[in-house]
Each structure stands twice: as structure tokens, then as C-alpha cells.
């Protein structure tokens, strides 16, 4: 991967993060709740985290 590709990817990541933050008015709990909702909706496409496989709970809210 060349340097310009890395810069483009990082720029895209920053733009996406800024768009998500703006959509939820920088409310971290709302961002987290939306991410968890989308994760549950797409659960069949996601890998099962080790904690879930071991029967331990996954946090429902970010610790602030």
C-alpha cells in the first residue's frame, strides 16, 4: 500500500467518524446504542466475540 492510499483511507475514516458524530449530535451513548442495534440486526454476518462464546456478558453501554 502506498502512502497516498493510506492518507486516503485515513481521510475516509475521519470523514465517516465526523458524519456519525454529527448525525447523533456528538452523543456517545446514542452512537453506541445505534452501533449495538446495527450489530444485533446483522448478527448472522458477524463473528461471535470470545466473551459471548464463554457465556460472559458484553457491555450494553459504554463506560464513561
Put simply, whether the predicted model's pTM sits higher than 0.85 gets the answer no
Whether residue 62 lies inside any domain: the answer is no
Q: Residue 60: inside a domain, yes or no?
A: no
Range of the domain at 32: 3-53
Q: Is there a domain that residue 63 lies in? A: no
Residue 64 lies in a domain: no
- pLDDT at residue 6, rounded to an integer: 87
Number of domains in the chain: 1
What's the CA gap between 62 and 30, in Å, rounded?
10
pLDDT digits (tens, 9 = 90+) for 12-52: 999 999 999 999 999 999 999 999 898 888 877 767 666 65
pLDDT given at position 10: 94
- Cα 34 to Cα 23: distance, rounded to the nearest angstrom: 11
Is a pLDDT exceeding 60 seen at residue 53? no
Give the span between the Cα atoms of 11 and 6, in whole angstroms. 8
Amino acid at each position: 500500500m502506498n502512502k497516498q492510499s493510506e492518507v486516503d483511507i485515513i481521510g475516509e475514516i475521519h470523514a465517516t467518524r465526523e458524519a456519525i458524530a454529527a448525525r447523533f449530535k456528538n452523543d456517545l451513548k446514542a452512537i453506541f446504542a445505534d452501533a449495538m442495534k446495527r450489530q444485533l440486526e446483522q448478527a448472522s454476518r458477524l463473528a461471535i466475540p470470545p466473551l459471548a462464546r464463554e457465556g460472559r456478558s458484553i457491555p450494553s453501554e459504554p463506560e464513561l
